[in-house]
Structure 1
């Protein structure tokens, strides 16, 4: 009797399984599976889960308010567990910018200096991460700290376009360009799926953290490194290839790629099945920031037809890419794919919280150490609209630090060490990292606010949220004008009935630099690039600008900065400079002094 096709296929599969079990000589062999009929061929659901740009939000807490936040590993744990249960196989990837950006990571740096154990990998091991790709912020504290932060990891660290050069760097930077994961289905008679994961990061780390990385490591373009790794993975039998890319796409632009944002190119590498990306803190699928990019479908979550996800920042979302596999004669093949995001759970996982309990208490104690006083409240509620005391403190501290350095040069001038640039005008550039950009954000107090009175370490971390170091650049007055014009693009024509209507919220606050040391006005009724009038006469052709290392090395594309204009680089982080500045003040900040209202928006009351 001839059996129906689907029953015959089932009998054939069962016979293969029985033969595999009963024949010792075939115990390690790959079973022969039918491929003549796609309906009869075995199929699997492989789910790729990703976190990215978590920035130290491990436990789900706002340490500045001491209130819980539905974000981070503690709030993603249940979502990860549920997402895994819905698929036959799964891969969990962290895509970088993990070990910097929160009070807990600030405390971790101080704990590492005292050689205390750090909690990160214990939590990641509990969540069963398969791999971690390095991002740019992994290098903010140097290679020693990176090694300490990931010590004890049960998963590999990836970076295909990063190469340690020295023995010291090789010992501290235990990375692989890619890794092969063999994922075994629950049906033991089915062959394991060979999944390759490749990691890349922005080459700009060599600029942004040059003081740690110069002569220690080398980087190459992401596309070249990823393409080479894809070919290697294919040669070694990879059936599914995933790129973990700590990079994004040009936003609100028809430009397709750059050396920093190059997912568009990566998605065109032959053989790539999925891309977990990040760096830009966007939600993909879902954002309209990439709607001008050709071959990008922000609703379907594809780039050149390749399924992709980007889960925002702070662990608020989990990236999910579903690959549906079918067995063919040559092995497992992706038949279709889709992607989506899942929000963090409303309640935390108590097991993850327990693992972080000691670190949580240590972080709270660290935050409360007082280091100075202020006579006025320091607030970024209006820092996108007018000069504020909070911004003036940043400018004052930056210029104080460099002036001390220049005074030291002047004392040494008789020895012939005087620098030709030390007599130039000294200006300061800084941005409000956590500022209100709308009336809703202002009402919800989504901005830095420090009460008048004692200032703690936690307050300084609230005021300046990145571990940037300080640089001084020497630029022309024309470049200064360009700097101000780039910043002025963060404003628009508004109504005085709603002050925040003057804010261009599409431009992030970290790209709204104000510059102290000169007076200027911004006329937003003029075209972008023609808005700023410098009101002071500058007697020199060049000026010095104190800024952070990210901006000085080209971050944000301001004034043609690329690192070559740097005349002084500080080894000290700006957060530490703020602490030292407040400590040395003989009286509370701004006591008896006035706010310097050195810039205005024309026609805004």
Structure 2
């Protein structure tokens, strides 16, 4: 194994017999610097500007604390989208924020690659702190973004190693052009090698793993909570890795703080709604060797009493002004009702907004069949006047489009997978009620993994067992041929099997459109000036 980490010493070692180290940790900020969700007016309890106030207060208590970010920083808001697609002037906003807040290190998440490798390399180059990921390697087999870890030495002489890791599932979601020349090694295996290397060569007093990934099992029972794809390996890391004191996680947007198999764990949610704090206490023996005496993790949430940092807001004021101006640009008008007052109801039967998205995908690619999702419960569809804010609020991911060649059997399997989104439970005197399956709500909401289709006619009977719920599947009034070949357009995430749609993974790609779907929708509406709500009722859910 070639290469090592960066070593920092704050001051000359002291003769103290006890020491304390503080870690502050953000993850899955998803571009939220300002305390806004960009959907409407009003301040929200989120964003780096609010967390900056927390960071300042914690630094007053411990000026030598370590500040770390765990990835998915540069994508997720119109603010970051506008820079990536229309601005590109000066230092990247994410790097400017890292530098202003004096982060010690950052770890790339899966969404760091959404806008292409050149942009991420710009972010890394603009950042004063290193980006750590031991398991993302280049063609030479070495860590692709420089140092895989760093070692920080406190004024008492305590050595703390920070190892960065990224979920190796990235190639299953990302467009190959965005990760050219990179390989994603198994995160657990890589951690095992690097932790052993760090322990042997750096002789740290504590090892912290900063992993952009989450937990694949229930933290209390150990039961599997998701298919064992390797996307999340946090439970296995706590159980199997030797020499790890703290595991900082992300990716799942959970809020966690505790201990698992003797390893202190933390995960601070998403969008800058909270920050994790870990304190490690050390004792020194008569021989002068330090050992961990105690560890504790906690979550500090941003709330109404947390003011946004005025200096950080001022730094990005012009960027925000340009973003808001762009968001309020009128794109066109809608005739008819395309609003989504109830996202759950819009997933139970064909809806004009979902049909619109599917129609755009079909007309753009020429495919006869399409599937799309209502990504979040915050999606509200279109009103009469459509702006860029409406588009990016509903279509929040930078997906492109791919047309796959699927069999009728593949399509049915995809529908059966989507049908697992629903479950039935006994109601209060009104018979059974359809509900969302808990697996789609925890550990994080996964409404984006329920697809609705156009170009076929189908019916899902939720009263039937999973895997047997597609009770009707036609095209043009005739049953779909299980062995027939059909061109189906879907977003780039789903085409790679994202969301455990394994039936789509590796299928022939007939053609693809590399343009961001939000741009496609904006251009589609701008060219027509007025779009009309249609809903052919080609599918429904029964129970």
Structure 1 contact 76–345 (Cα < 8 Å) conserved: no
225, 230, 254: which one aligns with 2:223: 254
- The answer to whether the 8 Å contact 2:207/2:244 transfers is yes
Alpha-carbon distance, 1:501 to partner: 5.2
How many residue pairs end up in the alignment?
A: 508
Q: Give the drift of 1:229.
A: 1.8
Displacement of 1:215 in angstroms is 4.1
- Distance in 1, matches of 2:473 and 2:418, equals 17
Q: Distance in 2 between matches of 1:362 and 1:283?
A: 33
Counterpart CA distance in 2 for 1:322 and 1:500 is: 46
SS at match of 2:504: coil
- Flag the structure with larger Rg: 1
Q: 1:581 is matched with which residue?
A: 524
1:46 maps to 2:9: no
Question: Paired residue for 2:365?
Answer: 402
In the alignment, structure 1 residue 427 sits paired with structure 2 residue 385: no
Contact residue 136 and residue 202 of structure 1 kept, 8 A: yes
**Deviation at 1:237?**
2.3
CA deviation profile, 1:178-228 (whole Å, cap 9, x unmatched)? 1112232xxxxx32x221111111222223223324542122110122222
Q: Give the deviation of 1:87 after TM superposition.
A: 4.9
1 CA distance for matches of 2:490 and 2:271?
26
More deviation, 80-89/390-399: 80-89
Q: Give 2:154's aligned residue.
A: 183
Deviation at 1:261, TM superposition (A): 0.6
Match of 2:346 in 1: 383
Question: Aligned to 1:61, what secondary structure does the other structure show?
Answer: coil
TM-score by length of 1: 0.78
Task: Give the Cα separation in 1 of the matches to 2:111 and 2:276.
Answer: 20
Matched, 1:57 2:29: no
CA contact (8 A) 2:347 2:452 kept: no
SS at match of 2:416: helix
| Residue 247 of structure 2 is aligned to residue 316 of structure 1 | no
Instruction: Provide, for residues 452-479 of structure 1, a one-character-per-residue CA deviation record: whole Å limited to 9, x for no partner.
Output: 13x2222211121000111122222222
CA shift at 1:449, angstroms? 3.9
SS at match of 1:567: strand
Q: Which runs of 5+ in 1 are unaligned?
A: 1-27, 34-40, 185-189, 286-300, 407-425, 436-445
- For 1:98, the equivalent position in structure 2 comes to 73
Scaled by the length of structure 2, the TM-score of the pair is 0.87
1:142 to 106, 116, 124: 116
Give the equivalent residue in structure 2 for 1:525.
463
Deviations 1:562-591 (A, max 9, x none): 234433332111112212222333x6212x
Superposed, 1:324-473 pairs within 5 Å as 324-328=281-285, 329=287, 331-346=289-304, 347-380=307-340, 381=342, 382-403=345-366, 426-435=368-377, 446-453=378-385, 455-473=386-404
Structure 2 residues not aligned, in runs of 5+: 1-10, 441-445
Once the two structures are superposed, what CA deviation does each residue of 1:154-187 show, in whole Å capped at 9, x if it has no partner?
A: 21111111113389x99xx643211112232xxx
Equivalent residue number for residue 537 of structure 2: 597
Contact 1:247 1:279 in 2 (8 A): yes
How far off its partner does 1:250 sit? 2.3
Tell whether the 8 Å contact from 1:46 to 1:88 is kept in structure 2 after alignment. Answer: no
Distance in 2 (alpha carbons) for counterparts of 1:306 and 1:254: 18
Query: Would the alpha carbon gap of residues 384 and 139 (structure 1) be closer, same or farther in structure 2, given more than 3 Å must change?
Result: same
* RMSD (Å) for aligned C-alpha atoms: 2.7
User: In structure 1, what is the Cα distance between the partners aligned to 2:409 and 2:507?
Assistant: 17
Give runs of aligned pairs for residues 157-236 of structure 1, distance below 5 A.
Answer: 157-165=131-139, 174-184=145-155, 190-191=156-157, 193-213=158-178, 215-234=180-199, 235-236=201-202
In the alignment, is the contact (CA less than 8 A) between 1:374 and 1:588 conserved in 2? yes
Kept in 1: contact 2:362–2:489 (CA 8 A): yes
Are 2:401 and 2:517, in contact at CA under 8 Å, matched by a contact in 1?
yes
Contact 1:493 1:501 in 2 (8 A): yes
